[in-house]
Structure 1
Amino acid sequence: MKKAQVNIWLFFMLLGSAFAVVSCDTNDLDENNQRLTETDFVVKAANSDLFEIQTGRLASIKSNLTEVRELGQYLVMEHTNSSTQLKNLAELKKITIPDSLSEDKRVHRIRLASQTGAAFDKDFVNTQIIAHDEAISLYEQASRELQDPDLKNFAAKTLDALHTHREQVVMIKSKTDAL
């Protein structure tokens, strides 16, 4: 008789545990654990701007195509402006931003710096498409998830410019693909 009571008790404990697990919304936990923080956004956005500035400068002096040189100069100007805005916000929020590229971005910049001619132009344009896709994804996430209204507004405002940059790069890609 005692064995039957223990089995029933164990059955209800397992049933209760299963119910608790099923009723727990794991999507909410994942989203909360992976929510983009203000600090993460500022650091990643600053890294993105720095990459665009450094590679844009490379394009403005290394490219054989006028369109790529002009694009490089344009990206330097645009990302210097957004970088300045971001730095001002970071100071207000007491967030330290990096003054050098992350390792993955540094590797891409070094690779670009080692190239010349058509190889540089093609790689630069392809790299810019990828970099802007990453930036757009980051800024979209920030405009959805950030709690700080100033940073959230900055992200939302900057998205239009990032989309415009990407569109310009894609237009130039047709020229570099023909090289």
Structure 2
Amino acid sequence: MYSRITKVHSAWVLSAALMASPFAIAQELPKGEPGQGGGTDQASPTAGVEVTQAAPKPTRAAQPGAGIDVEFVDKAQKAGKAEVQASQVAVQRSNNPAVKRFAQQMVTDHSKANEALRQLGAKKGVSVPNDAAVDPDIEALKNKKGREFDVAYMALAGPEAHEKAVTLFQTESEKGQDPDLKAFATKTLPTLRHHLSEAREVSAKVEMGK
């Protein structure tokens, strides 16, 4: 009889232990440690909540007409206006036929190029003002006469000015970022090179007093 009671009591204790074991095991797991099946003893703070990742910041696209193109427009329009202004004075004041012919050609060609550049710049959003700023070198040119005038004019609009123009337009033609401005520079280059050749010839005549 005693043995039977002992067996029943042992079975009851074992059953109670088995029922309590999951709770006991859970209590023994350190917080945050993964349990069986890869879970944890605590629910994740984001469990059941839809997590939306922050959208990436938009990349700012490069603006057209930037960098070298803007610099080209600025320098080209300033040089072109100076050529026209100085040459207009030379057409009126020079007594040298070669200088007058050269100056008239500069007025014609550079006026066309300046207008084309103005329209192209406006299309690209680059301002090219129409007003003619007062150039102290041109104002000084107006006070000269004879050979002194011719020498001063060629110093402003002759070989050196056209060497700079050729370099400027060639750089834009080769390294410009805007296709329209590159095409304009490429198209204008032969005219500028011709001007440079003429400027050297006329300058040499003026230096020799012819």
Normalising TM by the smaller chain, what interval? 0.7 to 0.9
Match of 1:11 in 2: none
Matched, 1:53 2:84: yes
Question: Aligned partners of 1:97, 1:84: CA distance in 2, in Å?
Answer: 10
Return the offset for 1:102: 7.2
Matched, 1:117 2:146: yes
Q: TM-score, normalised to structure 1's length?
A: 0.74
1:145 corresponds to which of 175, 187, 190: 175
How many residue pairs get aligned? The number is 143
What's the % identity of the aligned pairs? 28
Counterparts in 2 of 1:166 and 1:145: CA distance versus 1, 3 Å: same
Match of 1:133 in 2: 163
Q: Which runs of 5+ in 1 are unaligned?
A: 1-34
> Does 1 or 2 have the higher relative contact order (CA < 8 Å, sep 6+)?
1
Q: Which runs of 5+ in 2 are unaligned?
A: 1-65
Match of 1:77 in 2: 108
- After superposition, what is the alpha-carbon deviation per residue over 1:139-174, rounded to whole angstroms, capped at 9, x for unaligned? 111112211000011111111111100111111122
Match of 1:156 in 2: 186
- After superposition, what is the alpha-carbon deviation per residue over 1:57-115, rounded to whole angstroms, capped at 9, x for unaligned? 01101111011111111100000110111111111101101345678xx2322232221
2:202 corresponds to which of 172, 175, 178: 172
> What letter corresponds to residue 167 of structure 1 in structure 2?
S
> What letter corresponds to residue 98 of structure 1 in structure 2?
P
Structure 1 residue matching 2:127: 3-state secondary structure = coil
Question: Aligned partners of 2:141, 2:193: CA distance in 1, in Å?
Answer: 23
Q: Where has structure 1 moved over 6 Å in runs of 4 or more?
A: none
Alpha-carbon RMSD across the aligned residues, in angstroms, is 1.8
| Residues 27-46 of structure 1 mapped to structure 2, 5 A cutoff | 37-46=68-77
Return the offset for 1:124: 1.3
Structure with the bigger percentage of helix: 1
